Amino acid sequence: MYIYDEKNNAWVALRKTQAYKRKRRLARDYWIAALLVMALLPLGAIIFLTFLMTFLTLTFLDESLYHFHEGEL
C-alpha cells in the first residue's frame, strides 16, 4: 500500500514510514509477551490466543492514519 506525501510530491510505501515501523515493533513486542504466556497454557488456550493476537495485530497495523512530518520518512 502506498500513501501520498504532498510535501515531497511522491508516493511512499507505507512500510517505509517511521510511524508504521514503530507500530510494527510494538506489535512484535506484544507477540513476544503472548508467546511467553503461551508456554504456560493448554493447547486450546494457545490456539485461541494465537487467533486473537493475529486479529489484533492486523487491525492495529491496518487501521491507522499516517501523517508525514519532517524526519519521519
pLDDT confidence tier of residue 71, bands split at 50, 70 and 90? low
Degrees (nearest 5) of the Cα angle 39, 62, 46? 15
**Is the pLDDT higher at 73 or at 54?**
54
| pTM of the predicted model as reported, rounded to 2 decimal places | 0.70
User: Average pLDDT of 13-36?
Assistant: 89
What distances in angstroms separate CA 29 from CA 3, 25, 55, 69, one per listed residue? 26, 6, 16, 25
What distances in angstroms separate CA 42 from CA 17, 36, 50, one per listed residue? 38, 13, 12
pLDDT, residue 66, reads: 59
- pLDDT surpasses 60 at 68: no
pLDDT, residue 73, reads: 46
